[in-house]
Amino acid sequence: MQTVALPVVSAITAGVLIVGQMGLMLTVAGARFRGRQSLGDGVDPKLLQLVRRHGNYAENAAIFVASLALLEMLGAVRPFVIGLAALFIVGRALHAIGLSLPKTTNLWRIVGVIATATAGFALGVRLVMLGIGHLG
């Protein structure tokens, strides 16, 4: 009988990411309240920047955590899983910092994108490899 590993690293990663996402969400909510802008971004470029920062973070985090949990449950070695999680979290943080600056094309954002993409590609490739290995 095969046992499935609990996705402990994924749970911790999800916890860290959701706290970050809630922080970004609250900055958007605060800006909306101050600008009396219920929906959309209106004409406030700062609100648009905050909305994009939150949205970009959220659209990447969910699929990464779900995939990371699958990787853990398929039996990937824990140091590799931890490394991917750490790289992704750092990437998302750096990207959010980069999107917080007046000039949004900057080193923080570029390094954040590279870290996020590297973690995502490595996760995807390893998932396929482990999945194929479990087919037989």
pLDDT in tens, 47-65: 888 888 898 999 999 999 9
Q: How many helices (H) and strands (E) in the chain?
A: 4, 0
Cβ neighbors of 131 (< 8 A, separation 6 or more) are 74
Dist CA 60 CA 67 (whole Å): 11
CATH topology of domain 8-133: Four Helix Bundle (Hemerythrin (Met), subunit A) (1.20.120)
Mean pLDDT of the chain: 91
Name residues of the chain where pLDDT drops below 50.
none
Q: Delimit the domains of the chain by residue range.
A: 8-133
How far is CA 124 from its chain centroid?
14
Q: How many CB atoms lie within 10 A of CB 25?
A: 15
99 neighbors 50 (Cβ within 8 angstroms): no
> Rg for the chain (alpha carbons), in Å?
17
Interval 81-96: pLDDT, tens: 999 999 999 999 999 9
Run of H or E residues at 92? helix 78-100
Residue 56 makes CB contacts below 8 A (sequence gap 6+) with 95, 99
